[in-house]
Amino acid sequence: MAGEEAVSNKQVILNDYVTGFPKESDMKITTGSIKLKAPEGSNDTVLLKNLYISCDPYLRLLMSKPDRASVLGSSKPGSPLHGYGVAKVLDSTHPNYKKGDLVWGFTGWEEYSLITSPQVLIKIQHTDVPLSYYTGILGMPGMTAYAGLYEVCAPKKGEYVFVSAASGAVGQLVGQLAKLAGCYVVGSAGSKEKVDLLKNKLGFDDAFNYKEEPDLDAALKRCFPEGIDIYFENVGGKMLDAVLLNMRLCGRIAVCGMISQYNLEKPEGVHNLMLVVGKRIRMQGFAAGDYYHLYPKFLELVIPAIKEGKIVYVEDIAEGLENAPAALVGLFSGRNVGKQLVVVARE
Ligand SMILES: NC(=O)c1ccc[n+]([C@@H]2O[C@H](COP(=O)([O-])OP(=O)(O)OC[C@H]3O[C@@H](n4cnc5c(N)ncnc54)[C@H](OP(=O)(O)O)[C@@H]3O)[C@@H](O)[C@H]2O)c1
């Protein structure tokens, strides 16, 4: 019977817990086997053929040995990595999913995944946009940009907005949403190519290469002579300290992530935090997953904007699971230009 025979299943396996910067050799490619059928007798199982997997910075946090500070859980050495992806349902015993459905959500870094209790699998309704967008602008990073900017910071027309890691999966959308809200938007990124992209393709008002700025405070003063109302924080460290010096009274900081700290044994301190008091700054961490109830509203905004060319999205696409470790590791040296994803299979 179809599905009874086991087929080979290429996987990206975590070798061991990681310390410091991740390396390609922290992962290996192996080939297991899997039956392309949801187990009989189950009522909550979905068998997926993975099409795209998403390289996201938080995956590095899952690779660390879990400790009391871990809130995200952890990957298991010897097992495939897990993260967001786009997949096709091959078989299902779960009432909400049927064969042929396209979904985005939590899956494995492998060709086929058997998902039990698929809490985070969202059915894809709009297929007249690139399917790969559901790893980025139409998936978790898109919801991150939307929730962090609109829900956490509530931008008003004319406000000054600064975005770090601005050309990445989240940042490029934050900047464009802030422009749609009528704000003045500046981004920082780590190369001339990325700065050009921000200014010439993604519609930022200004941008700078933080790696070529000996004095981040001076760079921000140059870009924001009147100060910053909203900071969308993606990197932490020295940039956060410089931003605090330049925030305006009653400014808001959406703390989305701090990628500059993820590989450090000992996180850097933040020296200018006291300014939060005098300047009445509201600084709020948030997680995209807390806002998924707003996903339909988000799609109503963003899908027409994509189709009308009012929002563009830059992707960096690696081909094949063999190239997934390099793609993931590349996030931490800024090798990706735009949203980094990996093609596992074409539909
Ligand atoms: N809170 C949430 O729910 C949530 C969800 C998704 C993502 N995030 C966070 O959002 C941030 C951006 O994620 P993303 O998916 O959009 O990634 P991304 O920007 O597409 O890729 C990561 C980028 O970070 C920059 N970077 C790497 N190391 C850095 C360092 N030491 N200092 C400064 N910049 C560095 C690099 O760009 P440059 O070339 O510009 O350096 C790199 O391309 C991350 O902090 C991530 O953890 C949070």
Q: Report the separation in Å between the CA atom of 93 and the middle of ligand 1, taken as the mean of its atom positions.
A: 37
Complete DSSP assignment for 61-74 = HHTSPP-TT--S--
| Residue ranges lining ligand 1, Cβ < 6 Å | 56-58, 141, 144, 165, 168-171, 189-191, 194, 234-235, 256-260, 286-288, 331-332, 334, 336, 339-340
For a mutational test of ligand 1's pocket, the pick from 235, 291, 342, i.e. the residue with the most ligand atoms closer than 8 A to its C-beta, is 235
Q: Which atom of ligand 1 is nearest to the CA of 237?
A: 32
What does the block give as tokens for 232? 């969308």
Task: Output the average pLDDT for the chain.
Answer: 96
Atom 20 (ligand 1) nearest CA: 168
Q: What is the mean pLDDT of residues 16-26?
A: 97
Residue 300: band (very low, low, confident or very high) from pLDDT cuts 50, 70, 90: very high
Contact between 20 and 265 (Cβ < 8 Å): yes
Report which DSSP code applies to 314: -
Q: Identify the pLDDT of residue 66.
A: 86
Distance of CA 116 to the CA centre of its chain: 24
Q: Identify the pLDDT of residue 145.
A: 98
Tens digits of per-residue pLDDT, 259-287? 999 999 999 999 999 999 999 999 999 99
Looking at residue 170, its amino acid is V
Q: At 136, is the secondary structure helix, strand, or coil? A: coil
Give dist(CA 221, CA 272) in Å, integer: 16
For a mutational test of ligand 1's pocket, the pick from 153, 170, 328, i.e. the residue with the most ligand atoms closer than 8 A to its C-beta, is 170
What does the block give as tokens for 127? 């297929």
Place of tokens 């870009």: 223
Tens digits of per-residue pLDDT, 239-266? 999 999 999 999 999 999 999 999 999 9
Give dist(CA 44, CA 147) in Å, integer: 30
- How many CB atoms sit inside 10 A of residue 292's CB? 15
Largest interatomic CA distance in the chain:
70
Q: Identify the pLDDT of residue 220.
A: 98
Q: Which atom of ligand 1 is nearest to the CA of 188?
A: 40
What does the block give as tokens for 226? 């009147």
Question: What percent of the chain is modeled with pLDDT above 90?
Answer: 92
Distance of CA 119 to the CA centre of its chain: 19
Atom 4 (ligand 1) nearest CA: 256
Closest among 81, 83, 12, 74 to 54, alpha carbons compared = 83
Residue 230, strand partner residues: 161, 252
Tens digits of per-residue pLDDT, 164-215? 999 999 999 999 999 999 999 999 999 999 999 999 999 999 999 999 999 9
Q: Identify the pLDDT of residue 176.
A: 98
pTM for the model? 0.97
Residue 5: band (very low, low, confident or very high) from pLDDT cuts 50, 70, 90: confident
Atom 38 (ligand 1) nearest CA: 190
Give dist(CA 287, CA 165) in Å, integer: 17
Contact between 283 and 314 (Cβ < 8 Å): no
> With 80 as the cut, is the pLDDT of residue 135 above it?
yes
Residue 68: band (very low, low, confident or very high) from pLDDT cuts 50, 70, 90: low
Q: Report the separation in Å between the CA atom of 81 and the middle of ligand 1, taken as the mean of its atom positions.
A: 19
Q: What is the mean pLDDT of residues 57-67?
A: 93
Q: Which atom of ligand 1 is nearest to the CA of 148?
A: 1
Give dist(CA 75, CA 63) in Å, integer: 6
R_g of the chain computed on alpha carbons: 21
Q: Report the separation in Å between the CA atom of 234 and the middle of ligand 1, taken as the mean of its atom positions.
A: 6
Give dist(CA 51, CA 45) in Å, integer: 19
Q: Identify the pLDDT of residue 69.
A: 67
Helix axes 238-246, 216-223, angle to 10 degrees: 40
Looking at residue 109, its amino acid is W
Residue 312: band (very low, low, confident or very high) from pLDDT cuts 50, 70, 90: very high
Give dist(CA 136, CA 170) in Å, integer: 8
Give dist(CA 220, CA 46) in Å, integer: 49
Q: Report the separation in Å between the CA atom of 84 and the middle of ligand 1, taken as the mean of its atom positions.
A: 16
> With 90 as the cut, is the pLDDT of residue 11 above it?
yes
Which residues, at least 6 apart from 337, have a Cβ–Cβ distance to it below 8 Å? 167, 193, 194, 197, 314, 316
> With 80 as the cut, is the pLDDT of residue 71 above it?
no
Tens digits of per-residue pLDDT, 105-133? 999 999 999 999 778 899 999 999 999 99
Length of the chain in residues, anyone?
347
Residue 67: band (very low, low, confident or very high) from pLDDT cuts 50, 70, 90: confident
Residue 60: band (very low, low, confident or very high) from pLDDT cuts 50, 70, 90: very high
Question: What percent of the chain is modeled with pLDDT above 70?
Answer: 99
Give dist(CA 215, CA 197) in Å, integer: 23
What does the block give as tokens for 344? 């596992």
